[in-house]
Amino acid sequence: MNDIIFEPNELYKAYQTSKGETVPDGRCRVRTLRFESRWTEFLLPDDRAIPENRSFPYVMIEPLDLAPEGSEDVLAVTHGLNEGSPAKLFPWAYNLCLALRMPALIFPMAFHVGRRSADWGFSAQARLVSESSALPGNFKTSPFNARISLRLAQAPERFFGGGLQSFYDTLDLRDRIASGFHPGRRPGARMHFLGYSAGGYLALTLLMADPEQRFCDSRAVLFASCAPADGMHPGSIFIMDTDAADRLAGFLKNHALADVHLTGKLAQLAQVPLYWIDRIFSGDIAHSDRLTALKDRVMGVANPSDRVITAKGMKRNLTDVSLLSLPLGIHEFPFNLPDPLIEVYDRRQEPTKTLLNRVGDGHRIAEPYRTVFEAFIRETSAFIDGQKHA
């Protein structure tokens, strides 16, 4: 395996200033590609016309020595809930690209990385915090989570509408890859997944549903993901405030998928993915025939101290799937920040200042986690490459 690069600074900084141009660093090159979503009708009416969510950039990292005809495999790296930047995923994708000798795509879900308007900016969200923090009993408010908290508190069904758009966007991406119309791949290329947090739920839903056997040869590593709803606790200054978390938990607990108001063809398209999403959140996939059939193509990575997606919840839901346990730090910033995460955001206080400095270095793997990160890259790449079976 290649040497692990813990700080891909040169390429990340070049990417940030590239204005969409392809940039190399001697090992890899990063391209900014564009995607047009066809599936905004799954969203609430007020959300459908937001241009940043319809047409958006995504990142592809590929080895410089990739064969001219492209790769037979592509890895999609999917992110967590309320992810606003590809920074922390960049070293994961970079090192897996080198280890696997295949392109790695950081592909955003609806209203996440690269798919957000100016309303999601730090300053714009900071203006919302005074209102959200004034709600009785509402905690963990911050300029990181104010917008998503407001949106989900108003309409928790947005969680599924965005999920459905992301499901079908990813199908379209896979079809583009398999057809030969995507850079860096050969026609018929397979699509694999590193699904982190919310992105792991998307990856598992795609493999469980497997529409028209598009993913019959795909592999997925579910990273801090896929616990049932009672093992998921998204209240965090980086994810959502406690009011939004409570409303979302109630929505999931009551199996309120019927509240995702869709009719006609959209309702038909939503039926299969919503069926599997409901079973995953209900904890109803353990020992299922479908998960058993996938057990050699799915691996889990759990953090024993994870407070957002609990390791116990993952183990309970992913029965019969190989589960790797690694001490990863906090769920929101694996390989970077240690437990415990502060619960009160206050820029006047030293803990918040320290946190902001660490978050600013999100594209670097912190020194205390480098041995763990090496194990993560080694085990993930071996599994995706088919050298290690569940």
Structural domains of the chain, ranges and CATH numbers in brackets = 9-384 (3.40.50.1820)
Q: How many beta carbons lie within 10 A of that of residue 275, not counting itself?
A: 14
Which secondary structure element, helix H or strand E, spans residue 139, and what is its range?
none
Are 145 and 87 a contacting pair, CB within 8 Å?
A: no
All residue ranges of the chain with pLDDT < 50 are 388-390
Are 162 and 43 a contacting pair, CB within 8 Å?
A: yes
The pLDDT assigned to 210 comes to 98
Selection from 235, 206, 42, 40 nearest residue 142 by Cα: 235
Nearest-10 Cα torsion for 192, 277, 113, 329:
-80
The pLDDT assigned to 16 comes to 92
The pLDDT assigned to 256 comes to 58
Nearest-10 Cα torsion for 108, 110, 116, 121:
-90
The pLDDT assigned to 203 comes to 99
Selection from 165, 191, 167 nearest residue 177 by Cα: 191
What is the Cα–Cα distance from 160 to 269, expressed in whole angstroms?
13
The pLDDT assigned to 390 comes to 39
Can you list the alpha helix ranges (DSSP code H) found in the chain?
Answer: 9-16, 51-54, 90-100, 122-133, 146-154, 158-179, 198-209, 242-253, 264-282, 289-294, 311-317, 350-360, 370-384
Q: Name the pTM for this structure.
A: 0.96
The pLDDT assigned to 361 comes to 84
Radius of gyration of the chain (CA): 20
107-132: buried (b, 16+ CB within 10 Å) or exposed (e) per residue? bbbbbbbbbbeeebeeeebeebbeeb
CA distance to 114, 300, 338, per residue, from 379 (Å): 29, 11, 22
73 forms beta bridges with 190
